[in-house]
Each structure stands twice: as C-alpha cells, then as structure tokens.
Amino acid sequence: MTADKSVALYPDLSLTLTEAGTGRPCLILHGGGGPATVAGLSAHLAQTMHTITPVHPGWDGTHRPEWLTGIDDLALAYLDHLRDRRLRDVLVVGSSIGGWTAAEMAVRDAGAIISGLVLIDPVGVHVEAEPIRDFFALDALGIAEYAWHDSARFYRDPEKLPAGQAALQRDNMAALQVLAGDPSMHDPKLLRRLRRVDVPALVLWGESDRIVTPAYGAEYADALGSGRLHVIPEAGHLPQLEQPEATLTAIDAYLREGNAGLVDAS
C-alpha cells in the first residue's frame, strides 16, 4: 500500500513523502529531475522494504524555507526526520544530487542510523582530473546530450511542453541552483571526509554519463571506506531510467550480499 503524507519537521518546514512497503527502512532521494526520476526504484524496492521517498523542498511546488540553501541543510533535515522516527538500519538510495545528499548524511550520521548506501551517478565531490560538467551553463539540449546515452529518445524540447509542466521544470531548476549552484555541484570538503564512511556502499554509474564521468565515479567509490563501483553500459546520468533492469539487478545483488558491496564492476 502506498501513502502520501506531509510531515512537519521544523516550524517552517514540512516534508512531502511517499511511503510504501514493509521491512527495512529505505530512504530514496531524487536528483534535479524530481521525484519521477526515482519512481521506478521506489516501486521495486517497496516489494521487500519500507520505502520513504521525499520530494526535496522547492521541487514540484513544495515549500523551501529561505534558510535551506545547501545540500548540507537537506542532509541534516533528512537525518533529523530519521531520528524523529527512531529508525535504524536505514538503506539510503540517492540519484545525482540525491546521491550527494546521501553521502553528506553518511558523514554526519553520528548515531549510526544508516547501514548502507546506493549512490547512482552522484555529484558532490571535487576530482581535479575529472571536473563536473558546468551543468548550469547548458541549455536543455546540452543537458540531454551530456546526461543521456540515447539523448534522442529522452530529450524533451521545453518549448513544446505544456505550460504548467514547463513552469514546474523552471522552478525545479531554480531550486537546484540555490541548493547546488555555489560551488557548482560539489562540497569542496566532502571527498576527504568520505573515508570515514564505512557502511557498505554500492556506487552505480552510467557508462555514457558525461556530466560526471565513470572515472569520476571510480574516485568517488575509492574515497568511501567500503565503496564498490558498478558501471552500467548504454546508460548516462540516470541509469535507472535508461537501463532499469540492469540497475535494479545490481541493487538486488548488493542487497542479497547483505550490503557487502560485492557487485563486480563491469
């Protein structure tokens, strides 16, 4: 059974959540494209887990308080939510900035709430030899060309979208700019902090991602105390959309291994 709810976290911030399934808690964090980009992940994982899928404040018409201006703020808010619910043994799955948020949560998780990570093409760290593409300098066509393996299949001309959908995309992009725009798409301190994160971490990467390359992903996985990289062919920045079966198969294998991260890199 799936339920949508609004949870008052702070006096000026409520979280919009979708919950489904039973079992081990699993927090699923979307990227800049919004919650629709992780809907398939949530549906699949809800078959065996209790999934909690929030809408980041500022996305899809939700309220973002003025003080919430960074991914660190988002990470602390989600940690507070997990603490308030007294949840333990939480798997956190994050795509793109959702993966960055998951990593920031893990380095701040003094209460050992998080017991596993699945990071899907996360941004968030600075790798000198593999710079993050200047995302905010790209137009919609440029984003599609760098983010997708098959851009012709997934590109949507914003000029041809219904007015309401186009406005929502603009608002989502504005929220992304506030939370991740300065410095662009990374926390300069995060890479060296990741070594302290020793929970099993599966780092999934689309082989054709040119926003953040697989070589960037290898550095990300190596920086984690227990990270393992798994590269997905014929996929870009959102492999869960371009290659959902391969993505879910890799996650299921990771979970069968008891979060041991023993998925061989391809």
Q: What is the pLDDT of residues 193-224, one digit of tens each?
A: 999 999 999 999 999 999 999 999 999 999 99
Asked whether residue 80 carries a pLDDT value surpassing 70, the answer given is: yes
Query: What pLDDT does residue 1 have?
Result: 66
CB contact set of 139 (below 8 Å; sequence gap of 6+): none
236 touches 210 (CB < 8 A): yes
pLDDT tens digits for range 7-21: 999 999 999 999 999
Prior bond of 25 cis (ω within 30°): no
Asked whether residue 6 carries a pLDDT value surpassing 80, the answer given is: yes
- Buried (b) or exposed (e) across 88-120, using 16+ Cβ within 10 A? eebbbbbbbbbbbbbbbbbbebeeebbbbbbbb
Phi-psi bin for 259: left (phi > 0), alpha (psi -120 to 50), beta?
left
Quote the CA–CA distance of 1 and 112 in Å, as a whole number.
Answer: 28
Q: What single letter denotes the amino acid at residue 241?
A: L
pLDDT tens digits for range 48-62: 999 999 999 999 999
Residue 258 pLDDT class (50, 70, 90 cuts): confident
Asked whether residue 259 carries a pLDDT value surpassing 80, the answer given is: no
Residue 2 pLDDT class (50, 70, 90 cuts): confident
Percent of the chain surpassing pLDDT 90: 93
Mean pLDDT of the chain: 95
pTM (2 decimals)? 0.96
Mean pLDDT over 72-100 rounds to: 98
Token pair 């960074």: residue: 70
3-state DSSP assignment of residue 159: helix
121 touches 239 (CB < 8 A): yes
Q: How many CB atoms lie within 10 A of CB 25?
A: 22
Structural domains for the chain? 2-256 (3.40.50.1820)
Q: Give the ranges where 57-162 is alpha helix by DSSP (H).
A: 71-84, 97-107, 140-147, 151-154
Residue 3 pLDDT class (50, 70, 90 cuts): confident
